[in-house]
Amino acid sequence: MKQDNEIMLSVKEGDIQKLGKLFDRHSKRLYNYFRLQVRSRSKSEDLVQNVFYNILRYRHTYKDGASFTAWMYTIARNEKINHFKKNNFPEGKIDPELSDEKSNNPENDLEHKTDIYHLNMALERIPADSRELLILSKFTELPYSQIAKITGCTTGTVKVRIYRALKKLKGEFVKISGA
Amino acid sequence: MNCKDIKELIFEYLDGGLDSENIRRFDDHLSSCEECRVELAGVKSLWMKLDDIEMEQPSENLKKNFDNMVNAYTLGVSGTRTPWYEAFSNWLEAWWPKRSFTQFAATIAVLIIGIVTGLSINESAESKREIGQMQRDMDNLQQVVMTSLLNESSAVDRISGLTKTNQLENVDGQFYSTLLLLLNSDSNINVRLAAVNALANFADNGYVRHELVKSLDLQSSPLIQISLIDLLASIKEPDSSSTLVRLINDPGINEHVKTRAKTALKEFI
């Protein structure tokens, strides 16, 4: 978004308080990007905070005309990778002990749709890179060309990989729900 | 198009990214291939279903911590504009002899010069000046410690800065805010713990005590919660009792924290 670029340029030039505008616009999506992968609300909030701290620290590296969102998600992706490394936990698996998302169990929440619960479970079971691609393409509003940049491949490859990720998700979803 | 082509282009088709010629060829294949039709329907329905996963709203703490972080960063940046003491310290360091024998000799020489000079100066005028100088030194030390706390990127350096705070007296509100910012928003748990210990030295200040109670509500780490509870119990801060009760009744709080909160609460009853 052009406006994001202009705001980020002001931040780069020293108007640090303007970062709040970018935070208001993007923090919710960014939080959900982490939450759906890390499965801990408090940890996801810490990671969002780290991303914005790094945006401030490395603001001088932001280039005029670049996509702010793609830059931000590149930083977010590195934060997520570091998080899994630091906790010595393979990214592909989600530690049930660390997860604070237990309230999503339909037994605890009668109004919750079983389908969505199963879909969430299926998302947890597919490989980390497939999960990330689905989250990036569904929840961040990033165009495929930017997802390709962030993940280091071509736009065509991104689409084929999303299809494959969907196939894996479908396989797990069918296993869980018996659909 | 064959089934393999369809699988390669299926997402592009769903996404509306195919040109009209390819759409026609895609549709032609679908009309004659049951397997690909089923495949497309399955993928499409799951792709749509993903939209039903709700985006959650983060807690209010996220925004509060973000504001604290930006304020702390702004303070830190403005603090780096006048680092004259750093320049002075670098200048002194350049003059300082590198060999230990020469260092020793220089120290003795400075000591002798100091004693002789001290004896030859009018005592009362000197003591007034000394008090003024000491006050300025303390102010400068506070500045140096604060700047290091806010600028140090390494957690070890921030912790080291926090341990130096016990040398300070007569600090101002801005200094307390800096310590509280670290306690409430530093990403490193050890820094937050060091901030609790540093603030314990200033717990006789009403503002600090009030903010420590508020901080207990903000913290999510059991370790920090426990050290804050211990501190509040040791200073017998009565205002913390309602927060302790809230923690005890909150089902999301760690059991060890609750036990500690119950013990602390007994101190006030």
CATH top-level class of A1-90 = mainly alpha
Q: Quote the CA–CA distance of A113 and B37 in Å, as a whole number.
A: 28
Q: Quote the CA–CA distance of B247 and B182 in Å, as a whole number.
A: 22
Residue range B28-53: mean pLDDT, rounded: 88
Please report the domains of chain B, with CATH numbers, ordered by start residue: 3-51 (no CATH), 60-268 (1.25.10)
> 0.80 exceeded by the pTM?
no
DSSP collapsed to 3 states, chain A: CHHHHHHHHHHHCCCHHHHHHHHHHHHHHHHHHHHHHHCCHHHHHHHHHHHHHHHHHCHHHCCCCCCHHHHHHHHHHHHHHHHHHHCCCCCCCCCCCCCCCHHHCCCCCCCCCHHHHHHHHHHHHCCHHHHHHHHHHHHCCCCHHHHHHHHCCCHHHHHHHHHHHHHHHHHHHHHHHCC
Q: Which two tokens stand for residue B47?
A: 């792709």
Q: Tell whether A67 is within 8 A of chain B (Cβ).
A: no
Please report the ipTM that was assigned to this predicted complex. 0.83
> How buried is residue A15: exposed, middle or buried, by Cβ count under 10 Å (0-12/13-18/19+)?
exposed
What per-residue confidence (pLDDT) applies to A34? 93
Domain edges within chain A: 1-90, 105-179
What per-residue confidence (pLDDT) applies to B81? 45
A·B CB contacts under 8 A? 97
Q: Tell whether A83 is within 8 A of chain B (Cβ).
A: no
Q: Which of B53, B186, B192, B254 to mutate to test the interface with A (most CBs of A within 10 A)?
A: B53
Q: Quote the CA–CA distance of A5 and A67 in Å, as a whole number.
A: 7
Residue range A55-73: mean pLDDT, rounded: 91
Query: HSE on the CB side for A48, CA within 13 Å?
Result: 31
Instruction: Say which CATH topology domain A105-179 has.
Output: Arc Repressor Mutant, subunit A (1.10.10)
Q: Tell whether A36 is within 8 A of chain B (Cβ).
A: yes
The residues, ordered by sequence, that sit 6+ positions from B48 with a Cβ below 8 Å of its Cβ are: none
What per-residue confidence (pLDDT) applies to A134? 93
- Residue range B111-167, pLDDT digits in tens: 888 887 777 765 556 666 666 666 566 566 666 667 667 666 677 778 877 877 777
Q: Which two tokens stand for residue A53?
A: 């701290």
- Residue range B180-191, pLDDT digits in tens: 888 988 888 888
Residue A57 clears pLDDT 80, i.e. is over it: yes
Among A95-104, B94-103, B127-136, where is mean pLDDT lowest?
A95-104
A19, A166, A173 member nearest B70 (Cβ): A19
Q: Percentage of residues in chain A with pLDDT exceeding 70?
A: 83
- Residue range B241-261, pLDDT digits in tens: 888 888 888 888 888 888 889
What per-residue confidence (pLDDT) applies to B153? 64
